Amino acid sequence: MKFFNYVGGRVIIGLILSLALVGCAKKKEDNSKMLLPIALAGSGGGSPSAPEKPDTGGTSSETKKPTITSFNPTSGLIGAPLVIKGTGFSLNPSENIVKFNGTMAIITEATSTSLMAKVPENAVTGKLSVTISNNTIETSSSFEVIIPKTIAVSTEYTTGSFYSDSDYTVYTTEGSAAWYTATVESGKTYSLYWYNNYDFFCTDEEDCLFQDGIKITIYKSDLTTTYFSSVTHSKDYTGSKFTPTTNETIYIKVESTGSSDSFGIKLVIGDSDLAPSIVIARK
The DSSP secondary structure of 150-218, one letter per residue, reads: E--S-SSPEEEE-BSSTTS--BPPTT-EEEEEEEE-TT--EEEEEEE-GGGS--SHHHHHT---EEEEE
Measuring CA to CA, which residue among 143, 142, 83, 139 is closest to residue 111? 83
Examine the pLDDT at 81 and tell me if it is beyond 70: yes
Residue 193 sits in the same domain as residue 237: yes
189 is in which domain, residue-wise?
149-269
Q: Per residue in 96-106, is it b (16+ CB within 10 Å) or e — as a string?
A: bbbbbeeeebe
- Whole-angstrom distance, CA of residue 88 vs CA of residue 86: 7
Residue 129 sits in the same domain as residue 98: yes
| Residue-averaged pLDDT of the chain | 74
Task: Please indicate, yes or no, if residue 57 is contained in any of the structural domains.
Answer: no
Supply the pLDDT for residue 23.
55
CA angle centred on 230, ends 227 and 236, rounded to 5°? 125
Residue 154 sits in the same domain as residue 257: yes
Residue 161 sits in the same domain as residue 176: yes
Total structural domains in the chain?
2
Residue 142 sits in the same domain as residue 155: no
Where is 118: in which H helix or E strand? strand 114-118
Q: Which DSSP state fits 121?
A: T
Residue 162 sits in the same domain as residue 142: no
- Asked if residues 271 and 191 have their Cβ atoms less than 8 Å apart, the reply is yes
- Whole-angstrom distance, CA of residue 149 vs CA of residue 157: 14
Lowest-pLDDT range of 96-110, 143-157, 221-235: 221-235
Supply the pLDDT for residue 228.
85
Residue 94 sits in the same domain as residue 186: no
Cβ neighbours of 160 (radius 10 Å): 21
Supply the pLDDT for residue 212.
59
Task: Please indicate, yes or no, if residue 31 is contained in any of the structural domains.
Answer: no
Which position has the higher pLDDT, 166 or 212? 212
Final residue belonging to a domain, choices 146, 163, 186: 146
Final residue belonging to a domain, choices 146, 162, 190: 146
Supply the pLDDT for residue 172.
45
Task: Please indicate, yes or no, if residue 160 is contained in any of the structural domains.
Answer: yes
Residue 134 sits in the same domain as residue 236: no
Residue 109 sits in the same domain as residue 155: no
- Asked if residues 196 and 235 have their Cβ atoms less than 8 Å apart, the reply is yes
- Asked if residues 197 and 264 have their Cβ atoms less than 8 Å apart, the reply is yes
Task: Please indicate, yes or no, if residue 49 is contained in any of the structural domains.
Answer: no
In this structure, what CATH number is given to the domain that contains residue 133?
2.60.40.10
Residues 6+ apart with CB under 8 A from 188: 243, 244, 269
Final residue belonging to a domain, choices 113, 146, 179: 146
* Full-model pTM: 0.64
- Whole-angstrom distance, CA of residue 167 vs CA of residue 174: 19
Task: Please indicate, yes or no, if residue 275 is contained in any of the structural domains.
Answer: no
Examine the pLDDT at 12 and tell me if it is beyond 90: no
Task: Please indicate, yes or no, if residue 282 is contained in any of the structural domains.
Answer: no
- Whole-angstrom distance, CA of residue 236 vs CA of residue 192: 14
